[in-house]
């Protein structure tokens, strides 16, 4: 599932509306899902509906993994992932490329969230890897 940014609105949002983080179109606030405490999801309802339809379509083309499957990123199987009893971790998530709208793999929820947080950017992931490697190196030097 892709992470979406939220914006806390003042009691009277600007007349132009909000820009969708997905399509970039400025739209009325009513075109966005409103959450408790005045928060609004920054992906418009149209983009959300289109993505849901794409996911449904890709699921018809790509069979759900069997019991021996492991996440291609973290290499954990469903038994290991679901040991904490968290419902969200007890099933695989269909991962797809947001640019080409093509299937990549079934991944665990944690890895899918991580990819979404990095916006599928190799540059960001590489920087995170270097950051962690630097930290590990500093710890070894202590």
**C-beta atoms surrounding 78 within 10 Å:** 19
Q: Are residues 52 and 74 in the same domain?
A: no
Instruction: Provide the domain count of the chain.
Output: 2
Tell me the CATH number at 56: 3.30.60
User: 29 is in which domain, residue-wise?
Assistant: 1-60
Q: Give the residue, 3 or 126, on which the prediction is more confident.
A: 126
Are 101 and 41 in the same domain?
no
Averaged confidence pLDDT in the chain: 86
Instruction: Answer yes or no: do 109 and 77 share one domain.
Output: yes
Q: pTM for this structure? A: 0.70
Pairwise CA distance, residues 137 & 142, whole Å: 9
Q: Which residues contact 140 (CB under 8 A, 6 or more apart)?
A: none
Q: Are both 72 and 97 inside the same structural domain?
A: yes
Q: What was the pLDDT predicted at 7?
A: 46
């Amino acid at each position: 599932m892709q992470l979406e940014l939220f914006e806390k609105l003042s009691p009277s949002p600007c007349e132009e509306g909000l820009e969708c983080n997905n399509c970039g179109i400025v739209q009325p606030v009513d075109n966005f899902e409103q959450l408790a405490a005045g928060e609004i999801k920054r992906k418009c309802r149209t983009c959300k509906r289109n993505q849901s339809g794409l996911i449904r379509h890709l699921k018809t083309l790509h069979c759900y993994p069997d019991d021996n499957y492991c996440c291609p990123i973290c290499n954990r199987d469903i038994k290991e992932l679901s040991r904490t009893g968290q419902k969200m971790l007890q099933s695989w998530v269909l991962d797809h490329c947001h640019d080409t709208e093509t299937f990549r793999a079934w991944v665990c929820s944690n890895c899918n969230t991580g990819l979404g947080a990095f916006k599928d950017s190799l540059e960001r992931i590489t920087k995170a890897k270097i950051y962690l490697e630097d930290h590990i190196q500093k710890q070894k030097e202590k």
